Each structure stands twice: as C-alpha cells, then as structure tokens.
Amino acid sequence: MTILVTGATGNVGRPLVAELLAAGHPVRALTRNPAKADLPAGAEVVAGDLAGGSGLEAAFEGVTAAHLICFGGDDYAPLTNGEQIVSTAVRAGVRRVTVLKGDVDKSPLETAVEAGGLEWTYLAPVEFMSNTLEWAASIREEGTVREGFAEARSAMIHDSDIASVAAVALTGDGHAGQEYWLTGPEALTMPERVRVLSEVLGREIRFVELSRDEMIARWRAEGYGDGDIEFFLTVRTDPPITGDLVLPTVEKVTGRPARTFAQWVREHAAVFN
C-alpha cells in the first residue's frame, strides 16, 4: 500500500519517510518545494500544499494510509480546510491516518477526520527536542543559553520517536481511535538541558535565567501576539496534561525505549559547534 506523508520535509515527516522506506513501504511525500526536498531515494516526491488545498487530488490518488498534520504554512497556523482534506482522502480510498496534533484542543482537521469515518490515530508530543535548535546561535557565539522559568520541567521527545510511533500506527493494527501522548524518557529543567549539552559537546555552556517580564518582552520582540504568549506561559507554568510527566507510550507502541536528550544532542552536535 502507498503511504502519503504530508509535511514530509519537517522534523517528523523526514524521519517518517525514511523509516517507512526502510521497512519496504511505498511512500509518497508531499512538499511545497520538491526541488529542495532532499528526501531519501525511493520516495515519490510530489508538489502540494495541505493548507491551501493545491495538489491534493493527485497526492491522495492510490493512497491507502496517510500521515497528516494539523497545521501548515510558514506560521504553523491550524488548518481550516479539514473537510476538503478528508473528503479528498476518502474519495481516493484512504482508510487509515495518523494526525500530528498542534494543540491540546481538537482541531478542525481532527473533527473532519472523525466525521469522515477514517481509522485515525492522534499523535500528541509534549515538546520536540528539536526546539533546542533555537539555542544554537547563542551557544555557538557566546557559549550561553538565556531562558526563563528555570524550574519548569519538560519531558521532551525526540522527533524521530514521533515518526516511529506514526510508522507503527500507519502499518499495523490495534491503534485506531487512540490518542497517543508522546514523551521522552526524562523530564528536564532548562539548566539540566544545558548541562547535558555541555557534557555531550565537551565544553562549558552557561545558563542565564531571564525573568518573566524579560521573556514576555523577548517574545513580543520576536513578533508573537498575546495568544501565543499566553500559550507559552501556560506551557512553562502549568504544562498541559502530561507536559512534565514521563510516559511509556513510545516503548509500548514501538517496542523500544524512547531516545534520550543526550542522544539527540550527539546527533546534532555540529549545529552547536
């Protein structure tokens, strides 16, 4: 069966394409810019925009399972064309989907997926380890990380573990109707993350704590609005559901332990050096 991966060049889509291909599954990868996709050999790369609806008919043709994302565009805004996406998928013969959630609340795409009668599995990561890439410039240039809410813990998950859970759900039975909250194997504070970075990179990295007001000012300077800032504050002061709780979901679904933050840093060490 051909599996469609949307968001194929993203932090989850890229390793998902690779994992499905390695297991011998035909993969069609949807991206807005195929010329720059640089995906593994064997993937059928097609042009299309899940958010705008362009190219959807061709993308879903002959597909029986699909990995969908709830957000799109450069601003990662929630998709509003869920009914169009689902109706196109159903007409093409899609039976099973995984949906990468972008928020705690149910998105329009999720509502459409359930109404469309598809076998669905929701993937709800608490925080991507790849968010750490936001620190890369300050670590390279100053050997320093400046962040607020030093005691807030996050059970960050390796992006490839999200992809592994998606691969299992797309190709195996027993996952329909499940909402999988996904975490890594440890809940770390900001200073603990910095310590792991220091140990793996082999050099001292300082942590400088910013105040709540300093963090809000920084977010505003970066162009975030009140709604985004409220969400950021909630995540750091009152994590949604399992934000700071380690869950065994990855191992239960895939049969192997979730990857550690230290492993993620080793894989991305060049970005920080």
Task: Say whether both 49 and 141 belong to one domain.
Answer: no
- Residue 128: its pLDDT value, please? 94
Burial degree of 140 (CB within 10 A; 0-12, 13-18, 19+): exposed
DSSP conformation letters of 64-92: EEEEEESEETTTTEEPS-HHHHHHHHHHH
- Residue 109: its pLDDT value, please? 92
Task: Say whether both 235 and 144 belong to one domain.
Answer: yes
Query: Does the structure show a pLDDT above 70 at 231?
Result: yes
Task: Say whether both 22 and 152 belong to one domain.
Answer: no
Task: Say whether both 40 and 113 belong to one domain.
Answer: yes
- Residue 78: its pLDDT value, please? 80
Tokens of 263: 């492993």
Residue 124 Rama label (left phi>0; alpha psi -120 to 50; beta)? beta
Out of 110, 125, 140, a domain closes at 125
- Residue 54: its pLDDT value, please? 67
Task: Say whether both 97 and 138 belong to one domain.
Answer: no
Nearest one of 185, 178, 163 to 254, comparing CA atoms? 163
Place of tokens 């992809």: 163
Task: Say whether both 79 and 196 belong to one domain.
Answer: no
In a domain, 165, yes or no: no
Domain CATH number, residue 119: 3.40.50.720
Task: Say whether both 114 and 189 belong to one domain.
Answer: no
Q: pLDDT, tens digit, for every residue of 39-73?
A: 999 999 999 888 876 678 999 999 999 999 988 76
In a domain, 37, yes or no: yes
In a domain, 177, yes or no: no
Task: Say whether both 90 and 26 belong to one domain.
Answer: yes
Under a CB-based contact definition with an 8 Å cutoff, are residues 268 and 168 in contact?
no
- Reported pTM: 0.92
Query: Does the structure show a pLDDT above 80 at 105?
Result: no
User: CA separation (Å) from 235 to 91, 104, 126, 226, 260?
Assistant: 39, 11, 9, 14, 21
Q: pLDDT, tens digit, for every residue of 178-230?
A: 999 999 999 999 999 999 999 999 999 999 999 999 999 999 998 888 888 98
Task: Say whether both 24 and 105 belong to one domain.
Answer: yes
Under a CB-based contact definition with an 8 Å cutoff, are residues 41 and 18 in contact?
no
User: CA separation (Å) from 80 to 33, 77, 137, 142?
Assistant: 21, 9, 34, 41
Domain that holds residue 84: 2-125
In a domain, 265, yes or no: yes
% of the chain exceeding 90 in pLDDT = 76
Out of 125, 150, 169, a domain closes at 125
Task: Say whether both 66 and 101 belong to one domain.
Answer: yes
In a domain, 22, yes or no: yes
Tokens of 39: 């995906």
Task: Say whether both 65 and 137 belong to one domain.
Answer: no
Query: Does the structure show a pLDDT above 60 at 117?
Result: yes
In a domain, 178, yes or no: no
Sorted by sequence, the CB contacts under 8 Å of residue 190 that are 6+ apart come out as 145, 147, 149, 150, 152, 207, 209
Query: Does the structure show a pLDDT above 80 at 77?
Result: no
Q: How large is the angle between the packed helices 159-171 and 13-22, nearest 10 degrees?
A: 50
In a domain, 67, yes or no: yes
Task: Say whether both 224 and 146 belong to one domain.
Answer: yes
Q: What is the band of 242 on the pLDDT scale with cuts at 50, 70, 90?
A: low
In a domain, 75, yes or no: yes
- Domain count for the chain, please give it: 2
